[in-house]
Amino acid sequence: MRALIAAAVGAVVAVLMAFVAVPLADQNGPTTAKPLLTSAPAHP
Amino acid sequence: MRQRLSLVLVALAAFLAVLGVMLRVWVYPHVVAVPDNQYQAVVLEAKDATLIDYSKMAGVPHQHVTIVETLKGDAGAAEAYQRRTGRSVVVWDALSYVLGNDGKRLSAIPEVYPFDAHTQEPVHCCGENVDGQALSRVGIEYKFPFDTQPHDYQYFDPQTRTSAPIHYKGTTQLDGLTVYYFEQTIPWTRVPFPKAMPDGVAITPQQIDSLGYQRWYTTVRKFWVDPVTGAPINGEEVHNEQLRMPPSSGMAPVTIFSGDVKIRPDYQAATVALVKKERTLLLLLRDDLPTGLPLLGVAALALAFVVEGRARRRTAPPTLPVASVADADEHGGAGETATAKGAPAAPL
């Protein structure tokens, strides 16, 4: 029983951490990926 | 003390396993986004291209054309839209600036391209346009979505202002990366003249239109895309444009531009280096941690069992010798009590 409670506590902490991480991550932070553009040549 | 340690290990195992799953299903799709304030420039070249000389109204071969493409994220517009709707968007102010042999401007086409920062679905806001013409895009442009799949996408063509499929043609290796190759062919299509005409050309697009001239265009667009970031690490266009007169005039079409446009090698190398850095972060969040953390959790759980097993062996009373049990049986089955005491305790 105590083991089940311990597992539940661990799981809940993990879920809370995941939920908190999203708003904390700045949209321009290190977890974003930079896109790159390529050719779309204009009319000369 | 050991039992407490095993409980901590069980909690840690659950924490790691659940965190691994949450990173993949919750954090990754919410955190991975295109930055809304980025500035990029890429230089492309068309060597040995054919280019129109408006004074002679004829195509001149062996020209070197340079195209500078810039993307500037309009963070103010993106944040204002997010405040209104709650949706993360990116608004790119793009410009294709074309230079001839002499370094003078041949053309400049601006665009405003708003899209969802996470999924890259087009968003119709913030003055979306191409060369001042308001429109509603369908599909993608410039970049592919994160976690690009090996199938066709709708790709927006800024010349025709329409979208058409860009076909997945296979997987290949490029500069040490596994990339998807996509190709789109735009057949000959009549397209509008750009508002900015070449430097030194006095005629306006409206005057050209009124003379009955038409601008026609075809291209084969090629992208080599890193599927993790969706970033094209190389691109090429076999691009042709003609000035056509009404059929009644009997005049043959004149080539405005014909060339094979490629990213300049130094920009391509820089692009590959950047993609390699960015994809490491994404792979960590998408694959490595979601796989590794649950495995660590399993290890922690196994360790918990080991610690708990040792604790029980230490606390368990010594088992009675067989002879004593037999003696006890002879005295009314007391041996059952002794065996029961030596039995394993209740499971964790």
CA distance A42 to A32: 29
Is A32 within 8 Å of B277 (Cβ atoms)?
Answer: no
Task: Report domain extents, chain B.
Answer: 1-31+278-331, 32-263
Residue B321: predicted pLDDT: 59
Q: What is the ipTM of this complex?
A: 0.77
B225 beta partners: B180, B232
List the single residue in B with minimal CA-CA distance to A1: B348
Compute the nearest-CA separation of A27 from chain B (Å): 6
Whether B268 contacts chain A with CB within 8 A: no
Which strand (E) or helix (H) includes residue B223?
A: strand B214-225
Q: Which of B3, B5, B8, B15 to mutate to test the interface with A (most CBs of A within 10 A)?
A: B15
Lowest mean pLDDT among B126-135, B200-209, B272-281, B300-309: B200-209
Q: DSSP of B152-217, one letter per residue?
A: -EEEEETTTTEEEEEEEEEEEEETTEEEEEEEEEEEEEEEPPPSSPPTT----HHHHHHTT-EEEE
Q: What is the pLDDT of residues B198-218, one digit of tens each?
A: 877 777 888 888 888 899 999
pLDDT above 80 (res B305): yes
Query: CA B38 → CA B11, B75, B76, B123, B158, distances in Å?
Result: 42, 8, 12, 18, 21
Residue-wise pLDDT for A3-42, tens only, equals: 899 999 999 999 999 998 887 775 445 444 555 554 445 5
Residue type, B63: Q
Residue of B nearest to A36 (CA): B231
Three-state secondary-structure class, residue A18: helix
Looking at the complex, does the CB of residue A32 fall below 8 Å from at least one CB of chain B? Answer: yes
B residues 146-175 closer than 8 Å to A (CB): 146, 158-159
- Check if A36 contacts B (Cβ < 8 Å): yes
Which of 269-288 (B) contact A at CB < 8 A?
Answer: 271, 274-275, 278-279, 281-282, 285
Q: What's the start-to-end Cα distance of chain B, in Å? A: 15
As a whole number, mean pLDDT of residues B178-195 equals 94
Q: Indicate whether B101 pLDDT > 90.
A: no
pLDDT score of B333 more than 70: no
- In which region does residue B325 sit, left (phi positive, over 0), alpha (psi from -120 to 50) or beta (all else)? alpha
Between strands B177-191 and B214-225, the pairing is antiparallel
Residue B345 reports pLDDT greater than 70: no
Whether residue B275 is predicted with pLDDT greater than 80 in this model: the reply is yes
* Contact yes or no for B14 and A34 at CB 8 A: no
Query: What integer is the mean pLDDT of B206-234?
Result: 90
B118 touches chain A (CB under 8 A): no
